[in-house]
Amino acid sequence: MKLKEFAKKVGLSPTTVSRALSGYPEVSETTRARVAEAAMRLGYSPNVNAVRLKTGRAGAIGVVMGRAGEFHFAEFMAGMAERLVAEETDILVIPMADPNHEDEMQLYRRLVESRRVDAIIVHSPKPNDERIALLHELGMPFLVHGRSAIDVPHAWLDIDNEAAIKRATSHLIDLGHRRIAMINGRPGATYALHRDSGYRMALQSHGIEPDAQLIANGNFTDELGFRFARSFLEQPNPPTAFVAGSMMTALGVYRAVRSLGMQIGRDVSVIAHDDVFPYLTADNMVPSLSATRSSMRAAGTRCADLVLQLLSGRSPLEIHELWPVELILRESTGPARPSSP
Amino acid sequence: MKLKEFAKKVGLSPTTVSRALSGYPEVSETTRARVAEAAMRLGYSPNVNAVRLKTGRAGAIGVVMGRAGEFHFAEFMAGMAERLVAEETDILVIPMADPNHEDEMQLYRRLVESRRVDAIIVHSPKPNDERIALLHELGMPFLVHGRSAIDVPHAWLDIDNEAAIKRATSHLIDLGHRRIAMINGRPGATYALHRDSGYRMALQSHGIEPDAQLIANGNFTDELGFRFARSFLEQPNPPTAFVAGSMMTALGVYRAVRSLGMQIGRDVSVIAHDDVFPYLTADNMVPSLSATRSSMRAAGTRCADLVLQLLSGRSPLEIHELWPVELILRESTGPARPSSP
């Protein structure tokens, strides 16, 4: 039943009905109760439209947004939106405060029970991610953006972080670099572990022992990139190259190198991971930035597509996509200079 | 009634009930029908939880996301999330394809009728914005982020774009600049009109006639900033200063100036509008960027707060907030150099 039709049956204007059902304060409690009763009796749903009632679908995909990483999140969502725009399916963003384990589980549980989403996309999974176990147990369709080693069947899409960073680090070694710093993301997430692993594998396969003094973890901001790079470069035995976790981190590294009177691509080489932001491009940095590249937006589009497939009955077990990552060389990488004695 | 309780009454596991109600394909049509019937009979809502049914609230605020401007959008949403995290209120993001007037109106209308949001935030309003008229007519609580001259009562929060750009332009004139270029946002939105007006007011009050050859409109990307700045600087009578609409635009202007062998702050002055992104800061640019500053995140937090006030019964007529904008001078602005003959 449409709003107009229902309003006619109740003998009120659609505006009043609408206001009554959404708890708008201008409508009296009596009218609100009358409308609510009629809605119940006539089967008019105050909360979902007729199509959704019929299909049993909420018409939305849920994503939980923490405080960090909003710029990645925005690109991912823009990608999802590109796929969902023709599907009458929306994105329900659930705000989350600082991650506190129990609260987070509770939040996912409530989200499932509220029936406001048909599926959930889980971001930044950990190797043993309890959110995955919970969603599986509750029977909620879900897709993991990233990977988890947890022994619960789940659909996932990830990029090959390990191979990407291994390749980037190996390339720097091939250029003669031996002191290579690594500025990684926040510890704990699988992607950060994979990148760490790729970095170590490259070093060790060339007989170089990883040096804890050259490894840092933290949020992807230019502020942290700057601070880590400065402190590394001020060590007695500084790095000659950097692997940076994001474009923002790279901005900070560039600034730190410049602030010490050195030149990117000549004194210090940099390779960063580029999620392909429309507003900050590796090509446009000065000097242009060598990068491992994978579009966060494309991942969002594909994840939305895979969720729609899940909802159409495709088995989660069939949905395991590992995307290769390109390494694109530009001006920020060059041969290691012979070290002064 | 909780899922668990309902499942017990139907004699099925919560998982099966949950799957049945969300249309999960593993559940047979017979079971699904049985669960749907019981839900109807027992008053268990498959789509909203008990609290929300009781209050008549959907527990979400709606925002429509177009394809452009995702990075502003993300900051705004992160700000909203800060306020909403303790409120059990989520953000429903409705993807929209390229803005086509009729579709857009239809999208807002359907959103209201679906009862999936308690309020809507309208972004980038136009002087005569029909979305505002529509939402008012439908009785949906809403807040406008920005302003509209439309003769319909509405709550709004805006920053003082006109005063900000007037002040920035006046400062450049005080420094001796006469050829000042303006790279504005996409035409049509009130904020772009206000900025244009501030720019023209400053010029005209100093007896300078605005030159259409120095005014451009477009999306806030470094690519467009670069292209506009290059084309202006290659004119026979180039500008000596720029007012840039965003941080991203400023990145492009910086690049264009450098690519022509000139120096920011000496040969060409730049003031940009800074929405205060955590990952790209005016302080950290080289040279540091003079900017009109207003936090998009703070606006998101306050807009969420004002929407909650609307839902608690505060009149939209009382909610009109105009935020002043700071002008912060850094290294990218300097006195105009005497022009060569």
Measure B213 CA to nearest chain A CA, in Å. 25
* Interface contact flag, B48 A47, Cβ < 8 Å: yes
Q: Provide the mean pLDDT of chain A.
A: 89
Measure A90 CA to nearest chain B CA, in Å. 5
Residue A321's SS3 state is strand
A 217-246 near B (Cβ less than 8 A): 220-223, 226
pLDDT at B97: 76
Q: Are B74 and A68 in contact (CB under 8 A)?
A: no
Measured CA distances, A133 to A128, A129, A194, B265 (Å): 9, 7, 21, 56
**Which of A6, A15, A16, A22 best probes binding to B when mutated, by most B CB atoms within 10 angstroms?**
A22
Q: How far apart are CA A214 and CA B273, in angstroms?
A: 37
Least CB-CB distance to A49: which of B20, B84, B113? Answer: B113
Measure B221 CA to nearest chain A CA, in Å. 5
Chain B's closest residue to A222, CA to CA, is B279
Residue B152 contacts A, CB cutoff 8 Å: no
* Interface contact flag, A90 B92, Cβ < 8 Å: yes
Which tens digits make up the pLDDT trace of B275-319?
998 777 899 888 999 999 999 999 999 999 999 999 999 999 999
Q: Count H helices, E strands: chain A?
A: 12, 12
Q: How far apart are CA A255 and CA B120, in angstroms?
A: 41
Within 13 A of A202's CA, how many CA atoms are on the CB side? 25
Q: Average the pLDDT over A202-228 and give the result.
A: 95
Which residues of chain A lie closer than 8 angstroms to B92, CB-CB?
60, 90-93
Least CB-CB distance to A56: which of B22, B80, B281? Answer: B22
pLDDT at A341: 43
Q: Average the pLDDT over B5-16 and give the result.
A: 84
Q: Are B61 and B306 in contact (CB under 8 A)?
A: no
Q: Average the pLDDT over B81-98 and give the result.
A: 87
Residue A252 contacts B, CB cutoff 8 Å: yes
Residue A128: closest CA among A154, A148, A147, A105: A148
The domain segmentation of chain A, as residue ranges, is 3-46, 58-159+297-323, 161-294
Residue B22's SS3 state is coil
Which residues of chain A lie closer than 8 angstroms to B71, CB-CB?
71, 74, 277, 279
Q: Kindly tell me the burial class for residue A230, based on how many C-beta atoms sit within 10 Å of its own C-beta (0-12, 13-18, 19 or more).
A: middle
pLDDT at B43: 66
Domain A3-46 superfamily per CATH = lambda repressor-like DNA-binding domains (1.10.260.40)
CATH 2.40.110.10 is the classification of domain B58-159+297-323: no
Of A321 and B42, the structure prediction assigns the larger pLDDT to A321
* Interface contact flag, B59 A116, Cβ < 8 Å: yes
Which residues of chain B lie closer than 8 angstroms to A91, CB-CB?
92-93, 95
Q: Are A121 and A93 in contact (CB under 8 A)?
A: no
Which tens digits make up the pLDDT trace of B109-122?
989 988 889 999 99
B 165-184 near A (Cβ less than 8 A): none
Q: Are B21 and B39 in contact (CB under 8 A)?
A: yes
Residue B6 contacts A, CB cutoff 8 Å: no
Residue B52 contacts A, CB cutoff 8 Å: yes
Helical (H) or strand (E) element with A244: strand A241-244
Residue A94 contacts B, CB cutoff 8 Å: yes
> A109: Cβ–Cβ under 8 A, 6 or more apart, which residues?
A134, A138
Q: Are B10 and B35 in contact (CB under 8 A)?
A: yes
Instruction: Report how many Cβ contacts below 8 Å link chain A to chain B.
Output: 230
Q: Average the pLDDT over A33-56 and give the result.
A: 62
Q: Which of A191-205, B14-28, B212-226 has the lowest mean pLDDT?
A: B14-28
Q: Are B252 and B229 in contact (CB under 8 A)?
A: yes
The neighbouring-strand residues paired with B288 are none
Residue B301: closest CA among B281, B321, B318: B321
Whether A316 has a pLDDT exceeding 50, the answer reads yes
Whether A338 has a pLDDT exceeding 80, the answer reads no
* Interface contact flag, B15 A139, Cβ < 8 Å: yes
Measured CA distances, B68 to A103, A114, A117, A138, B186 (Å): 34, 31, 25, 36, 10
* Interface contact flag, B114 A52, Cβ < 8 Å: yes
Q: Which of A93-107, B51-65, B204-218 has the lowest mean pLDDT?
A: B51-65
Residue B45 contacts A, CB cutoff 8 Å: yes
pLDDT at A6: 82
Q: Which of A271-285, A298-312, B120-134 has the lowest mean pLDDT?
A: A271-285
* Interface contact flag, B110 A49, Cβ < 8 Å: yes
Q: Are B328 and B290 in contact (CB under 8 A)?
A: yes
Whether A65 has a pLDDT exceeding 90, the answer reads no
Measure A99 CA to nearest chain B CA, in Å. 12
Of A75 and B146, the structure prediction assigns the larger pLDDT to B146
Indicate if B58-159+297-323 has the same CATH topology as B3-46: no
Token match 């699904």: residue?
B32
Chain B's closest residue to A253, CA to CA, is B284
Residue B86 contacts A, CB cutoff 8 Å: yes
Please report which confidence band the pLDDT of residue A40 belongs to, taking 50, 70 and 90 as the band edges: low
Of A52 and B136, the structure prediction assigns the larger pLDDT to B136
**Which of A31, A76, A91, A93 best probes binding to B when mutated, by most B CB atoms within 10 angstroms?**
A93
Q: Provide the mean pLDDT of chain B.
A: 89
Chain A's closest residue to B70, CA to CA, is A74
Q: Average the pLDDT over A255-278 and give the result.
A: 95
Q: What is the fold, at CATH topology level, of the domain defined by A161-294?
A: Rossmann fold (3.40.50)
Please report which confidence band the pLDDT of residue B20 belongs to, taking 50, 70 and 90 as the band edges: confident
Q: How far apart are CA B141 and CA B89, in angstroms?
A: 15
Measure B341 CA to nearest chain A CA, in Å. 32
Least CB-CB distance to A137: which of B15, B16, B137? Answer: B15
Q: Which of A312-316, A337-341, B146-150, B288-292 has the lowest mean pLDDT?
A: A337-341
Q: Are B304 and B83 in contact (CB under 8 A)?
A: yes
Whether A203 has a pLDDT exceeding 80, the answer reads yes
Least CB-CB distance to B70: which of A23, A78, A96? Answer: A78
Query: What's the token pair of residue A258?
Result: 């410049």
Which tens digits make up the pLDDT trace of B130-144?
999 999 999 999 999
Residue A327 contacts B, CB cutoff 8 Å: no
pLDDT at A24: 58
Which residues of chain B lie closer than 8 angstroms to A221, CB-CB?
278-279
Which tens digits make up the pLDDT trace of B26-43?
677 788 778 777 876 776
pLDDT at B27: 75
pLDDT at B340: 47
Phi, psi of B88 (to 5 degrees): 50, 40
Phi-psi region of B69 (alpha: psi -120 to 50; beta: other; left: phi over 0): left
Residue B125: closest CA among B87, B90, B155: B155
Whether A176 has a pLDDT exceeding 80, the answer reads yes
Whether A51 has a pLDDT exceeding 50, the answer reads no
Residue A96 contacts B, CB cutoff 8 Å: yes
Q: Which of A232-241, A259-268, A271-280 has the lowest mean pLDDT?
A: A271-280
Of A282 and B97, the structure prediction assigns the larger pLDDT to A282
Residue B253 contacts A, CB cutoff 8 Å: no
Q: Average the pLDDT over B142-157 and give the result.
A: 96
pLDDT at B48: 44
Q: Average the pLDDT over B87-98 and give the result.
A: 86
* Interface contact flag, B222 A280, Cβ < 8 Å: yes
Q: Average the pLDDT over A302-307 and give the result.
A: 97
Please report which confidence band the pLDDT of residue B50 belongs to, taking 50, 70 and 90 as the band edges: very low
Q: Average the pLDDT over A217-237 and give the result.
A: 94
Token match 């390339």: residue?
A171
> Which DSSP symbol is given to A264?
B
ipTM confidence score: 0.75
